[in-house]
Structure 1
Amino acid sequence: MNYLPNVLFAIILIVGIGYFAKNVKKLIRNIKLGQDVDVSDNKSQRWKNMTMIALGQSKMVRRPIAGLLHVVVYVGFIIINIEVLEIIIDGLIGTHRIGLKVLPTSVYGFLIGAFEVLAILVFISVTIFWIRRNIIKLARFWKSEMTSWPKNDGNFILYFEMVLMTLFLIMNATDVHFQDLNSGNIISQFIAPWFSGLSESTLHVIERAAWWLHIVGILVFLNYLYFSKHLHILLAFPNTYYGKLKPQGQFNNLEAVTKEVKMMMDPDADPYAVPEDDGEAPAKFGASDVQDLNWVQLLNAYTCTECGRCTSECPANQTGKKLSPRKIMMDTRDRLEEVGKNIDANNGEFKDDGKQLLDNYITREELWACTSCNACVEACPVSIDPLSIILDMRRYLVMEQSAAPVELNNMMTNIENNGAPWPYNQMDRLNWKNE
């Protein structure tokens, strides 16, 4: 018996899964570069969010056409790949359609028939996605941040899915024994005549070629995810689980600032007392680089689907300002990848490269264009929060660099002096409070 195909299959499988595991380890390392944050609260609500949003696609279907098509691709692709289990077993032990040996023909036929129907639905759906992206050219896919790689990446994944679905159907259509069963070949029976006139040995070669290309294609697809926006296929689940549960717009308090305010308001506190030095460096206020963000925000960046729903809902972007919430997430991810490569190149240590997220990737103009309306957060189908990154970077500008716009500085001065944002004396409060 020739074991060479089985050995070759095992090598390809080990290399494919091993490379994927290596990249997953790197991904986790990069996410852990963020600051620690406690998201262990309200587990029941978190599980509910993950079930409804990631698994149930509840936010995707708010836009019915794209949502329905995405559900078809999502469900179809996941279910069809159950057949990968059979392919792996066949490849490792040298069997052919081992499912027929362990399942009744009718049951096996029902499963393969369902896979074939889903395969054609996935093919149709991704074709429509391609048309929407490249022929109709929906505006959100053609914003300025969608440069060559992000734009091409969206198409590459569609081509991947088209090819994988086609290979699956050709594999079934050229399997003479499977077609003779006349069970489960719901779609492939109409493709089989395309190969009529070919000898059985030629059909076997085509079937084997499609089989090998299908499984290799799946492994390539798996490893492509790390470099693609489609990493959300894996990360949408933890991202929705760890998503924000607080009311939208609720600003988090800084412990150091809260402590100072409490001391100022304490009537028994000695105003001339020197604070005790605990030996620790003062905490940095806000964020200027990715290491200053928390790990959930970095998880958000890797989860971004680049769908552009956030940007299409952003009032600042709609009025022509440079802010794009999608770009905020893409820039954060790109900078995090740059930091990760820096660490890899320097034996696990980060060497200052003279760059940071602020200014080198995200401009101050973008940050101050945000209206803090949370439209981007509401629009995201996988619970990403671009606003939290914007606010943390604004906090750095205000508290570390005193670099707020003049209008904001004037407002804060008025609040400090007059107890209100307007430049009126407190003694005149009753004169203007009802205006």
Structure 2
Amino acid sequence: MAIFQQIAFILVSIAAIFLFAKKAGQIRRNILLGRDTVPAGESGERWRNVLLLAFGQKKMFRNPLVAVMHFIIYAGFIIINIEVLEIGLDGVFGTHRLFAGPLGFLYSWLINSFEFLAVGVLTVCIIFLIRRNVLKIRRFLSKDLNGWPRSDANYILLTEIILMSLFLLLNASDTLLQQRGVGHFGTHLTGNFAFSSILHPLLNGAGNETLEAIERTCWWLHILGIFAFLNYLPYSKHLHIILAFPNAYYAPVEPEGKMHNMPDIQKEVLYAMQPELAPTGDAAAAPHGKFGAKDVADLNWKNLLDAYSCTECGRCSAACPANITGKLLSPRKIMMSTRDRLEEVGRNINANKQFNDDGKSLLHDYITEEELRACTTCNACVEECPVSISPLDIILQLRRYLVMEESNAPQEWNTMFSSIENNFAPWKFSPDDRDQWTMD
């Protein structure tokens, strides 16, 4: 029987890892559809961002209570999954608690610490479910989350609760079987663990065969749940568990709010000021690149990495003055729409081996003019994001396309643009009269 379990485990592991790797490869391809860009800054500054923002979750601690709860889940995910290494090796080699012998007394200490974390994760997940579905925190009620996004968050929390419960029940049945000296369970006596031992009274009445069935069922459901979670991640907002780290590394280290000028436009302004520098002949007729962005391929790859890294936490929209005052703009929705469009483009490529024009674009079909024009470029969304995402950069590029490629701007803007072009100032008076106000 053991050999069949080993074979089944190896086959399931291979299938799970293959499916995850395949989807991860597609996401990487989708991100690299964006324009190339070289983020500024030294690697030392970037690693500092990774340590403070991704590992240390610095921005989360602006709300200390929520930050501590989130950190418990985060630590549980990172640390408890060390135990998955032992489960994996036990599954491959048909062993039982492979690390118990080599680690000695340290093994019991580790499992006990895992149980403390497991109970912490279980408790926090219940609290987060209550916050989302009973207390109904305002940023979780936004229409941005209608449908799948709202369900996605609940599914993940429920999955975590189930996995932690299985972990504790597995340990409880295992330690009881050790005490009874049943089969291979008596090989390594770990002693009772902190929280799983509380379940012993519920299991004491079960016979050895029933206990073994409970232990094996929990073991299989736990590892299958982890494999299912692994393959669910690429379709979920919880992909940020993985992408938060590279996203923090490539986050801009220059002053927040700095807008990047476009070289082609800078040249046009220069030529307007100094016509003698303007190119002539073929050089003057050479076509310029596209101004701004219309679709996801016009954005740079960091923008697309941002889209996949979005946690959908809504802190950006909660801080956005346009959103607060009832305007259509929601920075969270900007990121979700970018990711949805990118996934649609990816499916198009999967089906046709290349992208076939589908008559859609990020601008207009996914993000509207009204949303873009509501942005005040105050940078609040960027400042609040815990994983260094910049909805503002995407907004600016889409807005540039509207104005510079489609000549699509409100009349008030066009009047200002015309004055700048003709008078080199936003106001309608001659440059020669600019200093006249000093005369009165």
Which TM-score band applies after superposition, normalised by the shorter structure? over 0.9
Contact 1:110 1:183 (C-alpha < 8 Å) held by counterparts: no
| 3-state SS of 2:251 partner | coil
Distance in structure 1 (CA, Å) of the matches to 2:390 and 2:438: 35
Letter in 2 for 1:76: G
Contact 1:172 1:178 (C-alpha < 8 Å) held by counterparts: no
Contact 2:177 2:211 (C-alpha < 8 Å) held by counterparts: no
The sequence identity of aligned pairs, in percent, is: 52
Matched, 1:327 2:333: yes
Contact 1:179 1:185 (C-alpha < 8 Å) held by counterparts: no
User: Could you tell which deviates more after superposition, 421-430 or 197-206?
Assistant: 421-430
Partner of 1:200 in structure 2? 208
- The match for 1:186 among 181, 194, 198 is 194
Partner of 2:253 in structure 1? 245
Displacement of 1:282 in angstroms is: 2.8
Partner of 1:129 in structure 2? 128
Contact 1:173 1:179 (C-alpha < 8 Å) held by counterparts: no
Q: Which runs of 5+ in 2 are unaligned?
A: 181-188
- Counting only pairs closer than 5 Å after superposition, residues 62-141 of structure 1 correspond to structure 2 as 62-104=62-104, 106-141=105-140
Displacement of 1:277 in angstroms is: 7.1
Q: Which runs of 5+ in 1 are unaligned?
A: none
Displacement of 1:396 in angstroms is: 0.3
Change in 2 beyond 3 A, CA 1:417/1:156: same
Partner of 1:59 in structure 2? 59
Partner of 1:215 in structure 2? 223
Distance in structure 1 (CA, Å) of the matches to 2:383 and 2:216: 47
Displacement of 1:39 in angstroms is: 2.0
Displacement of 1:147 in angstroms is: 1.2
Partner of 2:239 in structure 1? 231
Change in 2 beyond 3 A, CA 1:262/1:52: same
- Counting only pairs closer than 5 Å after superposition, residues 385-396 of structure 1 correspond to structure 2 as 385-396=390-401
Partner of 1:160 in structure 2? 159
Partner of 1:151 in structure 2? 150
Change in 2 beyond 3 A, CA 1:45/1:184: farther
Matched, 1:284 2:290: yes
Letter in 2 for 1:274: G
Displacement of 1:278 in angstroms is: 9.0
Contact 2:177 2:212 (C-alpha < 8 Å) held by counterparts: no
Matched, 1:255 2:263: yes
1:375-425 residue CA offsets vs partner (Å, 9 max, x unmatched)? 000000000000000000000011101101111112222223333323344
Contact 1:77 1:119 (C-alpha < 8 Å) held by counterparts: no
Distance in structure 2 (CA, Å) of the matches to 1:338 and 1:324: 21
Distance in structure 2 (CA, Å) of the matches to 1:434 and 1:193: 93
Distance in structure 1 (CA, Å) of the matches to 2:436 and 2:178: 88
Change in 2 beyond 3 A, CA 1:86/1:294: same
| 3-state SS of 1:133 partner | helix
Partner of 1:296 in structure 2? 302
Displacement of 1:252 in angstroms is: 1.0
User: Could you tell which deviates more after superposition, 122-131 or 416-425?
Assistant: 416-425
Distance in structure 2 (CA, Å) of the matches to 1:222 and 1:423: 61
What TM-score, normalized to structure 1?
0.95
- Counting only pairs closer than 5 Å after superposition, residues 22-33 of structure 1 correspond to structure 2 as 22-33=22-33
Letter in 1 for 2:357: D
Distance in structure 1 (CA, Å) of the matches to 2:154 and 2:98: 35
Displacement of 1:92 in angstroms is: 0.3
Count of paired positions: 431
Displacement of 1:2 in angstroms is: 4.1
- Counting only pairs closer than 5 Å after superposition, residues 293-372 of structure 1 correspond to structure 2 as 293-347=299-353, 349-372=354-377
Distance in structure 2 (CA, Å) of the matches to 1:242 and 1:60: 19
More helix by share: 2
Letter in 2 for 1:422: W
Matched, 1:36 2:44: no
Distance in structure 2 (CA, Å) of the matches to 1:272 and 1:234: 48
What TM-score, normalized to structure 2?
0.94
Change in 2 beyond 3 A, CA 1:311/1:95: same
Distance in structure 1 (CA, Å) of the matches to 2:310 and 2:59: 14
Letter in 2 for 1:139: R
Distance in structure 2 (CA, Å) of the matches to 1:278 and 1:13: 59
Letter in 2 for 1:252: H
Letter in 2 for 1:114: S
Distance in structure 1 (CA, Å) of the matches to 2:4 and 2:373: 62
Distance in structure 2 (CA, Å) of the matches to 1:5 and 1:177: 19
Letter in 2 for 1:5: Q
Partner of 1:173 in structure 2? 172
Letter in 1 for 2:34: G
